[in-house]
Amino acid sequence: MSTRHITFEGVAFGYRTSHGEVLSGLNLELRKGEFFLLLGPSGCGKTTVLNLLAGFERPPGGQISVGGTPVTAPGPDRVVIFQGDDSLLGWLSTVENVEFGLVLAGVPRAERRRRAERALHMVGLTGQDRKYPHELSGGMKQRVQIARALVCEADVLLMDEPFAALDAQTRATLQDELARIWTETRRTILFITHDIGEAIILGDRIGVMRAGPGSSIKEVVANDLPRPRSRGDPAFAAMYARIERAVSEEVKRTMRRETQ
Amino acid sequence: MTQGSPRSPHPIPTRSTIGQAAIAGIREPLVLSVLSVTAGLVVWQLTSTLAFHSILFPSAAKTAAALVATIAGGTLAKDLFATLYRVLAGFAIGSFFGALCGLVMGSAPVVRRFFEPYLNFFRFVTPIAWIAPATIWFGIGETSKLFLVVYATIFVVLVNTIAGVTHVHRDLVRMAQAFGGRGWQIFVYITLPATVPFILSGMRIAMGNSFMTVIGAELLAGNNGLGYLIYSSRVFFNSDVMFAAIVVLGTLGFTADRIFHVAQHRLFWRYRPGRP
């Protein structure tokens, strides 16, 4: 445990406009196999952090490295689960979507199918493999994305508010299942959210971001509630109150800035 | 669980449901279509016999008689196939190169910006304007007509293809990059399939353009084809033959469009336009 896996050192990002930079002097460390939640008010640059780690954008300042290697481009060691369903291939069936990363990696067909079926089973989509994305519900589409990420056995999963567009019931179910899947697979996960409850259900550690511009990590809260976690647990409520205090200060700051 | 060949589309949830829906949905519109055509023929027959001289506006019955006569005489088939050949050949060539150039221009911004002024110039110059230059360059034979139909096809397909390539969702490309996709893989697995519906809708519009252009070309320069038949009938004031040719032309275009539509749903049913 606690071997450093991902590091952000003095990362800055954004254009020096009247609104200032998006991120400045951001430092963050993720340990190998940990479930890290990044929480913050909307517009604070959470998604930017994820895009930088994914390699979609290059930081003009500071350095990001994974396993000691600086991030310079997207790579199959860091797989992304997007918020919307725009990243599913509408012309491929569920199982073909899950296999997509393996197709790019040149994995033979039979092995591809076997691994995809296993991943679909893990996310509870057994028997749905021949359906097309337009035949799936929002929750099922996000399960497909998770299966597609799991099948590649990438070390790092980057999740950008993947459950934000789902109804409350589906969201709670998927949170519980993701927690279970993570317990079984122990990938390093960076999960972005603005939902405090979601952060507590999922995260080993919860990084609260400062309000932008020039955002960075305000504090990192260790969350050692026993898994599986329950929203009815008194310790959950105490943790919620603590994190809410930290977040609401930042939300107020954002609102003050916006009304000025 | 289904373990069949992954290439063959699974029969239960996808292809057949689309097919069944099409068959179930056909019946009611079919009744309506038959009614519509019948009503049209009645109105045609009445207005032409009551309001006009039959030489100026031949009735539906007279036109039908002329149609039967030209079919029996063998001239209609000859003209019909001449026109159909020009449309199909020109349409195929124009669509192929339109899609090809569109993919290149869509993928390479430098190439796109270089050729954009020409694209936006020529797509506003109607093919009809090129009939005179084309006959000077290529004579009144097949080459000039083929040239004109290709011209009528290529820009619509080109513009649509470019739109398709440039509208591929950013998340799709990023997703493929995150899975280690290289440039050519992103083109083959993302850009190309995402552009298919755009190419097809461009081709469907282009087919209409092809029909319009070929008739123009045959009217002004040619010695066979439906356009020639319409124009040459004027000499002997065979207005009923003119109308028969127009009816054949419309029916031909309508049929071609239906075939294209059905083929699009049968062969490219995976590539639905819009979001997944």
Q: Supply A154's token pair.
A: 């990438």
With 60 as the cut, is the pLDDT of residue A114 above it? yes
Minimum-distance CB partner of A130 among B2, B177, B178: B2
Structurally, chain B folds into a number of domains equal to 1
Are the Cβ atoms of A54 and B174 closer than 8 angstroms? yes
Read off the CATH number of the domain in which B215 is found. 1.10.3720.10
Are the Cβ atoms of A86 and B275 closer than 8 angstroms? yes
The DSSP code sequence of A22-54 is: SEEEEEEEEETT-EEEEE--TTSSHHHHHHHHH
What pLDDT digit, counting tens, does each position of B234-249 carry? 888 899 999 999 999 9
* Residue B118: CB atoms within 10 Å: 10
Task: Output b/e per residue, A99-118; b: 16+ Cβ within 10 A.
Answer: bbbbbbeebeeeebbebbbe
B172: closest CA of chain A, how far (Å) = 5
Which CATH entry fits the domain spanning A4-77+161-259: 3.40.50.2020, 3.40.50.1580, 3.40.50.300, 3.90.1150.10?
A: 3.40.50.300
Whether B178 and chain A come into contact, CB under 8 Å, resolves to yes
What pLDDT digit, counting tens, does each position of A201-225 carry? 999 999 999 887 888 898 999 999 9
Q: Is B46 contained in some domain?
A: no
What pLDDT digit, counting tens, does each position of A57-96 carry? 988 888 999 998 999 999 989 999 998 888 999 999 999 9
Residues lower than pLDDT 50 in chain B:
1-16, 275-276
Q: How confident is the model at residue A29 (pLDDT cuts 50, 70, 90)?
A: very high
A222: closest CA of chain B, how far (Å) = 29
Q: Supply A32's token pair.
A: 């190998």
What pLDDT digit, counting tens, does each position of A136-175 carry? 999 999 999 999 999 987 889 999 999 998 999 999 999 9
Whether A165 and chain B come into contact, CB under 8 Å, resolves to no
Q: Is B26 contained in some domain?
A: no
CA-nearest residue of chain B to A145?
B175
- Long-range own/partner contacts, residues A10-15 (CB < 8 A, 24 or more apart): A10/A61, A10/A62, A10/A63, A11/A49, A11/A52, A11/A59, A11/A61, A11/A62, A11/A63, A11/A64, A12/A59, A12/A60, A12/A61, A12/A62, A13/A45, A13/A48, A13/A52, A13/A57, A13/A59, A13/A60, A13/A61, A14/A45, A14/A48, A14/A213
Chain B interface, best mutation among A50, A85, A95, A100, by max B CB count within 10 A: A100
Strand partners, A188: A156
Whether B272 and chain A come into contact, CB under 8 Å, resolves to yes
Q: Is B172 contained in some domain?
A: yes
Mean pLDDT of A105-109: 95
Q: Which domain holds residue B181?
A: 57-267
Q: Is B18 contained in some domain?
A: no
A positions 34-63 inside 8 Å of B (CB): 54-56
Whether B171 and chain A come into contact, CB under 8 Å, resolves to yes
* Residue B81: CB atoms within 10 Å: 13
- For residue B88, CA distances in Å to B26, B149, B267 come to 27, 9, 19
Q: Tell me what the pLDDT averaged over chain A comes to.
A: 90
Q: Is B15 contained in some domain?
A: no
Residue A189's closest CA among A236, A149, A230?
A149
pLDDT score at A25:
86
Q: How confident is the model at residue A19 (pLDDT cuts 50, 70, 90)?
A: low
Whether A85 and chain B come into contact, CB under 8 Å, resolves to yes
Are the Cβ atoms of B175 and A80 closer than 8 angstroms? yes
DSSP H or E segment with residue A205: strand A205-209
CB of B60 within 8 A of CB of B45?
A: yes
CA-nearest residue of chain B to A157?
B178
CATH 3.40.50.300 domain extents, chain A: 4-77+161-259
Say what the pTM is.
0.85
Q: How confident is the model at residue A2 (pLDDT cuts 50, 70, 90)?
A: low
Q: Is B173 contained in some domain?
A: yes
Whether B179 and chain A come into contact, CB under 8 Å, resolves to yes
